[in-house]
């Protein structure tokens, strides 16, 4: 993918700050996604939405970063650890650019007002959640006659919280739990927006799931 802004963007590009990526492994997160819709793009930015395109890079931490720009004023960023691809059936992506090149392309959208859907995919051993009130609530086993009923997955919808959905399920015979947290965001895209939105998810993850 090749993104070119107008001549009035040259100075901005030369002075671009580095985008800050979240530390996924520290929080047991395998993949983090921000799917943004640019509200009222500048004229120079509108030209970048003329066709669908994407680029994939890998940084020094081994994270795969994917930037997809779409015709619907769509700016999509995925950040994934290699473990996400070994743990799922998703094929490990092939990179086609460097991390600095991807940052330069993403930098064209700095300052734009966006509405975004944010998600994080977390994986924890069940032993790490032994004291979690959330897990205790969902681990209740009900017996009817000679039958036993127990939840192994589900979706919770939240209101009035920083996140609006928690999807979870047990895996590997109940030895692991995976969580997919979702939230929404409205504001300006800047060089810290990825890590700031990730931290919001992590705070909710700790509050609702891992807190004992």
160: helix, coil or strand?
coil
CA 57/CA 24 separation, integer angstroms: 16
State pTM to two decimals.
Answer: 0.85
pLDDT reported for residue 90: 80
Taking phi over 0 as left and psi of -120 to 50 as alpha, with beta for the rest, 187 belongs to left
Greatest extent of the chain over all pairs of C-alpha atoms, in Å: 75
Per-residue pLDDT of the chain (212 residues; tens, 9 = 90+): 445 444 444 444 445 558 999 999 999 999 999 999 999 999 999 999 999 999 999 999 999 999 999 999 999 999 999 999 986 678 899 999 999 999 999 999 999 999 999 999 999 888 887 667 777 777 667 788 878 887 778 898 999 888 999 999 888 877 888 999 999 999 999 999 999 999 999 999 988 888 76
pLDDT reported for residue 29: 96
pLDDT reported for residue 166: 93
Q: Estimate to the nearest angstrom the gap between the alpha carbon of 182 and the chain centroid.
A: 9
CA 8/CA 195 separation, integer angstroms: 28
- Which three-class secondary structure string do you get for 9-47? HHHHHHCCCCCCCCCCHHHCEEEEEEEEEECCCCHHHHH
Query: Are 204 and 32 contacting, i.e. CB atoms less than 8 angstroms apart?
Result: no
């Amino acid at each position: 993918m090749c993104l070119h802004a107008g001549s009035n963007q040259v100075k901005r590009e030369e002075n671009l700050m580095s985008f800050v990526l979240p530390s996924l492994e520290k929080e047991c997160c395998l993949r983090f996604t921000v799917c943004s819709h640019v509200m009222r793009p500048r004229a120079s930015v509108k030209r970048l939405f003329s066709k669908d395109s994407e680029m994939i890079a890998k940084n020094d931490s081994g994270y795969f970063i994917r930037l997809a720009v779409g015709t619907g004023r769509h700016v999509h960023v995925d950040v994934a650890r290699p473990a996400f691809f070994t743990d799922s059936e998703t094929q490990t992506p092939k990179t086609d650019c460097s991390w600095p090149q991807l940052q330069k392309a993403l930098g064209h959208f700095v300052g734009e007002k966006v509405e975004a859907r944010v998600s994080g995919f977390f994986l924890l051993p069940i032993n790490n959640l032994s004291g979690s009130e959330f897990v205790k609530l969902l681990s209740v086993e009900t017996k009817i006659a000679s039958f036993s009923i127990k939840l192994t997955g589900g979706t919770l919808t939240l209101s009035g919280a920083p996140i609006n959905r928690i999807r979870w399920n047990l895996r590997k015979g109940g030895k692991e739990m995976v969580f997919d947290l979702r939230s929404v965001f409205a504001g300006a895209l800047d060089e810290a927006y990825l890590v700031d939105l990730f931290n919001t998810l992590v705070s909710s993850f700790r509050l609702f799931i891992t807190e004992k």
